[in-house]
Amino acid sequence: MNTEQADPAEAAALRAAFAVADGGQSALGWEAVRAFEAEHGVVLPEPYRTFVAEVSGGSSQGPPAYGLLEPAALPSDWPDDGAERDLAAPFPLTAAWLWEEDEGPWEDPEAVIDQVFRHGSVVLGTDGCAMNWHLVVTGPRRGRIWRVTDVGAMPFDAESGHTTCAPGFAGWVAHWAAGKEWFDAA
């Protein structure tokens, strides 16, 4: 997984997966992507960066179940408490954490939970019921997909042991496009 340079094969696979969506009309374009990055103090990881610039900035076609959101958008069930998201601040987790059952090693677990929702990730979309997919854009897990719910967060790739999905945005989309169940590891 290369988060710094787009792989032409991954870009072609992403285009193919979203070919029936809108023919690239929803793509943001490079100027808008650079403006988004400047506004938020981040550089989006590849191949997501190229995808939103050239293929689709958001789509009602999955993944996830309710479609792919634009980079700055949030799901309709996102709690509107007025707090700002800070994409430039590092995503705080490097391993799965089920905070409903474990306070973790932090002095202030509530602050870390808040950071999971607000720091260092773009929300890709939702499967409903507060089950959201995040792409980490800042921090040690940059470029990785995480599933974040109201009870915990977990990385989503074969390394996590819950799925056969390859790491990153391209792996996540390929897993969906192949019609695989999200949690398909034996």
Please state, rounded to an integer, the average pLDDT across all residues of the chain. 91
Name the domain count of the chain: 1
37 occurs within a structural domain: yes
Q: Based on the number of CB atoms within 10 Å of its own CB, is 165 exposed (0-12), middle (13-18) or buried (19 or more)?
A: buried
Confidence band (pLDDT; 50, 70, 90) for 186?
low
Look up residue 84 and give its two tokens: 């700002």
φ/ψ of 29, rounded to 5, equals 85, 155
**What CATH code is carried by the domain that includes residue 67?**
3.40.1580
183 occurs within a structural domain: no
pTM: 0.93
Helix H or strand E encompassing 145? strand 145-148
59 occurs within a structural domain: yes
What are 14-61's pLDDT values in tens digits? 988 887 556 667 899 999 999 999 999 999 999 999 999 999 998 888
The range of the structural domain enclosing residue 145 comes to 8-74+85-177
Separation of alpha carbons 144 and 125, rounded Å: 15
Q: Coil, strand or helix: which one is 28?
A: coil
What are 66-95's pLDDT values in tens digits? 999 999 899 988 877 777 899 999 999 999
